[in-house]
Amino acid sequence: MLREVRAVYGTGPTRVTALDGVTVGFDSGTFTAVMGPSGSGKSTLLHCAAGLDRPVEGTVTIEGTLLNALDETALTRLRRDRIGFVFQAYNLVSSLTAAQNVALPVRLAGRRPDPDQVAAALAAVGLAGRAGHRPSQLSGGEQQRVALARALLRRPAVVFADEPTGALDSATSRQVLDILRGLVDRDGQTVVMVTHDPMAAGYADRVLILADGRLVEDLTDASAEDIAARTARLEASC
Ligand SMILES: Nc1ncnc2c1ncn2[C@@H]1O[C@H](COP(=O)(O)OP(=O)(O)OP(=O)(O)O)[C@@H](O)[C@H]1O
């Protein structure tokens, strides 16, 4: 939950207000898409909500924990244990297999990954047969699904996805979006996804539209056509 969040980059003449007093909550078990023109603050909103950036004003809570009050160690632990991230770039380690990539954050946290959990995470994204493949032996959509399995391994309360389908064709995008939708419908997880694509946003229960760091639309169960029309109007007026 973000309350009256202001986020600023730079100082003096290069100072940019990326978020200008945004208040928004994400109900658990829902899928929210965040849209808006380039530079409107979408990624900043995601980063603040996930504790990757600290706002200059306002409060951020995750499952009742006030992030502002946490030091870096506690924040890192909360991100590791409760939050999953997926980015447009898959960020897989090329020398590791799919299974090793999925297990890597657990290893980096100094724990021993459970092979059954790793196999289950890969199976959940339809890649049970690809566990031993390296990223170069996988398609873009498969690599993104490995990144999703990695994000899901610890069953995070919230999955934040920043343009997860930005580098994928529409058929492959749909596979990734179906998985995100399934997380919400089947497992009751919470998904917050930044996207430029109205088709992708059409998978969400709710669509937030930002402009100039402010929340300008909050739509429920909007169709891809409706979303496309509203974002086109906004782009035209920018
Ligand atoms: N690290 C940074 N340093 C300086 N300015 C930044 C930084 N990150 C973002 N900004 C600025 O903050 C504003 C919001 O950026 P943000 O990345 O949140 O927008 P966005 O809506 O995600 O854009 P896009 O769709 O192009 O990815 C922009 O004006 C951007 O130039």
Q: How far is the CA of 236 from the centre of ligand 1 (A)?
A: 19
Q: Whose CA is nearest to atom 29 of ligand 1?
A: 39
Q: What is the pLDDT of residue 53?
A: 93
pLDDT tens string 160-199: 999 999 999 999 999 999 999 999 999 999 999 999 999 9
Assigned token pair, 45: 């909103």
Nearest ligand 1 atom to the CA of 40 is 21
For residue 219, what are the β-bridge partners?
207
CB 152 within 8 A of CB 176: no
Contacts with 238 (C-beta within 8 Å, 6 or more apart), sequence order = 37, 211
The overall pTM is greater than 0.90:
yes
Which residue has 């995470």 as its token pair?
Answer: 121
Residue 238 pLDDT:
66
Indicate whether residue 238 lines ligand 1 (CB < 6 A).
no
How is the chain split into domains, by residue range?
Answer: 2-237
Predicted confidence band at 55 (pLDDT cuts at 50, 70, 90)? very high
CB of residue 40 inside a 6 A radius of ligand 1: yes
- Is 43 touching ligand 1 by the criterion CB < 6 Å? yes
Query: What would the mean pLDDT of 75-100 be, rounded to a whole number?
Result: 94
Out of 40, 47, 162, 163, mutate this one to test ligand 1's pocket (max ligand atoms within 8 Å of CB): namely 40
CB of 42 shorter than 6 A to ligand 1: yes
Task: Output the 3-class SS for the chain.
Answer: CEEEEEEEECCHHHCEEEEEEEEECCCCCCEEEEECCCCCCHHHHHHHHCCCCCCCEEEEEECCEEHHHCCHHHHHHHHHHHEEEEECCCCCCCCCCHHHHHHHHHHHCCCCCCHHHHHHHHHHCCCHHHCCCCHHHCCHHHHHHHHHHHHHCCCCCEEEEECCCCCCCHHHHHHHHHHHHHHHHHHCCEEEEECCCHHHHCCCCEEEEEECCEEEEEEECCCHHHHHHHHHHHHHHC
Find out if CATH 3.40.50.300 is the number for domain 2-237: yes
pLDDT over threshold 90, residue 100: yes
